[in-house]
Amino acid sequence: MKSTILLCFTLLVATISFSQKKTFVRVFDENGKKIQKGFLVATTDSSLTLQLGEKFSEIPINRVSVLKLGRSIGNTILISSLLFGTAFAIAGAVSADPSDLILTYTASEGAAAGFLEGTALGVLTGSLFYPFNKRPEFKVNQQLIEWVKIKDLLQEYLPNPESK
């Protein structure tokens, strides 16, 4: 029974961790250096607007070479390892029974062991999930002609004001 609940809980944590509502964009220049990152807010005929926290940034297209949608693998691994680590730490603390005859451990020992095991499982899960997530990449090459084509494709990633 415990293993079934743990499996369902693990699947729930994995599903929640990989659901993202806003579109995160990383902007690179012609040298492959990241020049800006943030959530996609708006596009115009000659620029791209991103929001990171309270700060809005308008990037002219003549500075943009590549747009990569979604976050990097490091973020995916970090989030999944923290979620799994926390979930397993709670499960380890709750399942502790110091008076058990076979395997005795305290709540803090269970939490520590659960965190370590959950973090390792989270790293593995994040590493395995990352290649299967669609992360589009658009090559603008600082060309307005390319940007016009890509701008139309990006419309589906813009936040919809009616859905709020």
Q: Reduced to 3 states, what is the DSSP secondary structure of residue 16?
A: helix
Closest CA to 122 of 69, 150, 84: 84
Residue-number span of the structural domain to which 100 is assigned:
72-134
Tokens (6 digits) for 163: 């859905």
Task: Give the whole-angstrom CA distance, residue 39 versus residue 142.
Answer: 20
- 78 with 100, same domain: the answer is yes
What does the pLDDT look like over 68-123, one tens digit per residue? 988 888 888 999 999 999 999 999 888 888 777 777 888 899 899 999 999 999 99
- 141 with 66, same domain: the answer is yes
What does the pLDDT look like over 25-71, one tens digit per residue? 999 999 999 999 999 998 998 999 999 999 999 999 999 999 998 88
Position 15 confidence tier, pLDDT thresholds 50, 70, 90: low
- 89 with 111, same domain: the answer is yes
Q: Would you say residue 17 lies in a domain?
A: no
Position 132 confidence tier, pLDDT thresholds 50, 70, 90: confident
